[in-house]
Every structure is written in C-alpha cells, then in structure tokens.
Amino acid sequence: MELAKNKIALEPKKDIPTVTTTGKRLQTLIDGVHIHQQVTQQDARGTLTEIYSPFWAFDTIPLVYIYTVSVHPTKIKGWAVHYVQTDRYFFYAGSAKLVLYDSRPESSTYKLINELYFSETNRSIILVPPHVYHAIQNVGTTEILLINFPSHVYQHDDPDKYTLSLDNHLIPYTFDSKINLL
C-alpha cells in the first residue's frame, strides 16, 4: 500500500530506559519525595500487605492522624499543597496516577514534575513534602483507595490545605481527559 503524496510517514520513536537491570527507577524524584514499594504476601487464604513499619526507616515523622481517600474512575483530585504538613500516601486499590510539582524555589528540583503510577500490583507508600503540589487521577475502571497518614492532625478551624484549579498558570501540566479504560 502506497502512502498518499501529502501524507508524511513518521518513524517510530525509540523508548528511553526507565529502570535499571535491578528494577530501580531511573526517574529523578522531586527533592524530599520518597517511595517505598510494599510487598504483598499471598497464601491460600488471601493477602497481607504491610502499610508502615518503623524498621524501614522511611521517615522520622510520628503517626498522629490517619484517614482514607477515594477517587472515582476518570476523576481527578487536586491540585493541593500544604505549607506545613507532609503527606504520606499508601495506595492499595485501583489504578492511580499521582502527579507532583515542586514549587520550592530553593529546591534542587524546582519546577520538576513527577508522574507516578500505583495499583494493586504496585502498592507503595510515598512521602510528599510541604510546598509540593499534588493531584491524583484515577486511570482505571474501579475506585482508587488510599490511606494518608500526614505529619499533622487536621485542623478543622484552620486547615493547612490550599488548592488550585486543574487548569492554572502555575503548574505546566495538562491531565489527559481521554483515558483508555479497557
């Protein structure tokens, strides 16, 4: 089959490496962001996944408050940022895309964007420091479920939570509204 004269044949684009031979991510993470991938243990009765253990030395922040969050399929929560609070998210159900934006001028990763994916096959805890904007997009067909155990108790009368619309002039990121839900 011959291409029409006014059509341009595009060459395939070579993928760049994303992990090392040992499975370590090559993506540069925003300064202060940490990820600990959890192992899900399975036997004939079901599964068990540890959410947090002080033995991992993941951080030194005490556990003071815990709550759960859900995001419906095709929906996005964010952009949000905290100026004092550190978030620690544990993704355990659904397919999530977590997008982070470093708004700290003094940071070595200032203006860096991270796109991170989590699901039942990639259960992880992630630490999001203050002044890092975050948004969670459900890229699957079932509800996302995650647990947050932030560094500070929620102050109902004066919350340390600031939000931006998804379409803004601060964060150079556009969410894909045409998610392929198979």
pLDDT of 7: 61
Q: Give one word for 15, left, alpha or beta, with left for phi > 0 and alpha for psi -120 to 50.
A: beta
Answer yes or no: are the C-beta atoms of 117 and 19 closer than 8 Å.
no
What percentage of the chain's residues is helix, strand, coil (to nearest 5)?
A: 0, 35, 65
- Closest Cα partner for 120 from 38, 53, 44? 38
Which amino acid is located at 150 in the chain?
Answer: P
Q: Is residue 119 part of a domain?
A: yes
Q: Is residue 6 part of a domain?
A: no
Please report which confidence band the pLDDT of residue 2 belongs to, taking 50, 70 and 90 as the band edges: low
The CATH number of whichever domain residue 85 belongs to comes to: 2.60.120.10
Q: Is residue 72 part of a domain?
A: yes
Q: Is residue 95 part of a domain?
A: yes
In terms of residue numbers, what domain contains 140? 34-163
Q: Is residue 5 part of a domain?
A: no
Of the candidate ranges 20-24, 27-31, 89-93, 129-133, the one whose mean pLDDT is the lowest: 20-24
Whether pLDDT at 182 is above 70: no
Q: How many domains does the chain have?
A: 1
